[in-house]
Amino acid sequence: KNQVEQSPQSLIILEGKNCTLQCNYTVSPFSNLRWYKQDTGRGPVSLTIMTFSENTKSNGRYTATLDADTKQSSLHITASQLSDSASYICVVSEETSYDKVIFGPGTSLSVIP
């Protein structure tokens, strides 16, 4: 069964600190993996997208890594800001004709002053 798991479920960090969120998946055949940020009461916004051949991708203070062999991904946030408080969702696409996606349960991040 295709699944996406994320850890931790929730995380509280001090402003300015770094953190790393984890994503494990069993989706096959694999197409790509995306990290989304969802602010409370808003729709998800794409942060990064990685295909099978990509190991790392950065978007400002966000850096995502992908290990396609172990089927793991991480999202590293550097120098966290209060505005980083949100839910971070790992989404893995299945290689089908309509690009079916499987959502992880998300990690709730709270950045406190």
Partner 1 sequence: GAVVSQHPSWVICKSGTSVKIECRSLDFQATTMFWYRQFPKQSLMLMATSNEGSKATYEQGVEKDKFLINHASLTLSTLTVTSAHPEDSSFYICSAKDSGAHQPQHFGDGTRLSIL
Residues near partner 1, by CB under 8 A: 31-32, 34, 36, 41-46, 49, 51, 89, 93, 98-99, 101, 103-106, 108
What is the smallest separation between the CB atom of 1 and partner 1, expressed in angstroms? 14
What is the smallest separation between the CB atom of 16 and partner 1, expressed in angstroms? 26
Comparison of 43 and 113: residue with beta carbon closer to partner 1: 43
What is the smallest separation between the CB atom of 113 and partner 1, expressed in angstroms? 23
**DSSP conformation letters of 56-103:** EEEETTEEEEEETTTTEEEEEE-S--GGG-EEEEEEEEE-STT--EEE
Q: With left for phi above 0 and alpha for psi between -120 and 50, is residue 26 left, alpha or beta?
A: alpha
- Per DSSP, 42 falls in state S
